[in-house]
Copies of this chain bind each other. A is one copy, B any other.
Amino acid sequence: MSSTSTDPSKTDSSKITSSKTVTLNHVAEDAGVSRSTVSLVLRNSPLVAAVTRARVQASIKRLGYVYNRGAASLRSQQSNTIGLIVTNITNPFFAELTVGVEDGLEESRYTALLGNTSDTLKKQNLLLERMQEHRPDGILLCPTDGTSVAQLRRMQKQTPVVLFVRYLPDLEIDYVGADNVKGGEIATAHLISLGHKRIGFVGGPAYSSARRDRLQGYANELRIAGIPVDERLIVVGPMTREGGRQGILELLNQENPPTAAVCCNDLVAVGAMLGLQSVGQIPGEDFAVVGFDDIDEAQLWHPPLTTVALDPHHLGEMAAHLLLERIAKPKGTPRQITLACRLVVRQSSGGPVTAPKPQ
């Protein structure tokens, strides 16, 4: 004991138990083993003898040690974190998808960093930047308008990226989304089978690949039925209720309005129904509406919505799995996964068409 100092705060370094954070060093000391042994125990290495392990674990518990993943990341070059960037968490579709991602991650050791872009390039770039500062091991992104392919390509070199819901042209990248073309086809085929001849397509921003594909399916099916695709019946707008309301009114104000519409998603569809009601038309009677997504609310609206059901939870899980796979095997060839969807018929698409009602 070299007690030359009279300052009581300068005790032997080993004695500073105070209220500071407990580190792996403290555990090692307490258990009477080296730091590497503790590290091995923390990571469940089988190289540690059972007795040693038990002793270390006892110390961990006793001292209330909690692992510092940040410090580990610095050394090991992996953060055990992934970034999840959605366009709108407020859309039940994405909310469900988010819990799907979480569930898909549950078994793994990853935690998700969540970001919401509000479908805005500015926020997306900000988020991407912030997230990269945290060195996520992978990124799950639903790209918004104007997302730079070059930027994404650059990012991919550093961090695995998987796109979901929307993809980008000219980019070799992992992706999981719904079979939107098929979805557009079955929605349109349903309306055609009901006797509709003039069918509109409402909402969605032109840059959304999901929207493009749904529109593609819509056009395919019209062509098969020998109905010409009329550009005036296709209206662009945000994927929101308000977008749907405005879109349907635009359609109704034309000189030869449609009698039915495929809406880009359920939010747009309910907006369309509100728009119809606001001018005295009854959805499902005077006008047939079909949506996309089958969010929980769809069956509760009035009238209950006919819609193309996707499984967002499953989609989220798949996206998470695909990302984990890519993290494990960064050099593998990108995979494009496309999930089936199915039509759920409810009242908003109504029965067979009668005469179009003049507005």
Contact = CB atoms under 8 A, between A and B. Distances in A.
A-side interface size class: 35 or more
Interface string A85-102: 000011010011011001
Nearest to A129: B66
Interface in A127-159: 129-135, 154, 157-158
Interface string A280-304: 0000000000000000110011100
Given A67-B133, A302-B302, A102 B90 contact: no
A241 B98 CA distance: 20
Q: Which of A67, A73, A95 has the most CB of B within 10 A?
A: A95
Contact of A92 (B92, B115, B133, B154): B92
Given A19-B157, A89-B99, A301-B300, A134 B66 contact: no
A75 to B, nearest CB: 10
Contacts of A73: 70
Contacts of A66: 129, 132-133
A145 B146 CA distance: 44
Contacts of A67: 133
Contacts of A253: none
A272 B73 CA distance: 49
A112 B114 contact: yes
Contacts of A92: 90, 92, 95
Closest 3 CB pairs of A and B: A302-B302, A114-B114, A69-B133
A115 B134 CA distance: 17
Nearest to A270: B300
Contact of A297 (B96, B114, B157, B297): B297
Contact of A98 (B89, B99, B130, B274): B89
Contact of A302 (B79, B130, B301): B301
A111 B99 contact: no
Contacts of A17: none
Interface in A52-90: 64, 66-71, 73-74, 79, 81, 89-90
A154 B19 CA distance: 12
A113 interface: yes
